[in-house]
Amino acid sequence: MRVDEMSEAQATAAEAPAVEQTADRQGSALPAEEIERLTTDIVAALKTVYDPEIPADIYELGLIYKVDIADDRKVAVDMTLTTPNCPSAAELPAMVENAVASVPGVGEVKVSVIWDPPWDPSRMSDEARVALNMW
């Protein structure tokens, strides 16, 4: 089951959501309340991950494209980087994996770095734009 969630700023400002909206919560073996809790806690955990070179978290930067929570609590995260030549390319996926794995109730975590669609600044939330002075 795929779960969608985005910050209020992303919901109102970003052209594309940080997490794909494809939830069908009624078909899950997990109770809706548990899916909501996991979703909220996973997003909060993702907001603790910062690119060492950018003073905004990766969620608000729009680097998280999709979070998929399976009935067995395995979590798959599709993310991207600001550029294929990102100096943090080796460490950011591991940081995301560790952050999501720290959420109580989450099973195995798999992080995939994808390049399509490519990241661009329009994916940033207003919060990230303020942090980076990009108005």
pLDDT the model gives residue 29: 87
How many Å apart are CA 35 and CA 8, to the nearest integer? 19
pLDDT the model gives residue 26: 54
Domain residue limits, the chain? 2-131
pLDDT the model gives residue 133: 87
Cβ–Cβ < 8 Å for 122, 4: no
Return the DSSP state at 6: -
Instruction: Write down the CATH number for the domain with range 2-131.
Output: 3.30.300.130
pLDDT the model gives residue 19: 41
3-class SS shares of the chain: helix, strand, coil, % to 5: 30, 15, 55
How many Å apart are CA 132 and CA 121, to the nearest integer? 11
Distances (CA, A) of 74 to 24, 26, 51, 123, 128: 17, 18, 25, 26, 29
pLDDT the model gives residue 13: 37
- Show pLDDT as tens, one digit a residue, over the chain (135 residues): 444 444 443 333 343 334 433 344 456 789 999 999 999 999 999 999 998 888 999 999 999 999 999 999 999 999 999 999 988 898 999 999 999 999 999 999 999 999 999 999 999 999 999 999 887
pLDDT the model gives residue 52: 87
Cβ–Cβ < 8 Å for 67, 110: no
Cβ–Cβ < 8 Å for 15, 42: no
pLDDT the model gives residue 17: 38
Residue 90 phi/psi, 5-degree rounding, is: -80, -35
Beta-strand (E) ranges in 26-128? Answer: 64-69, 75-79, 109-113
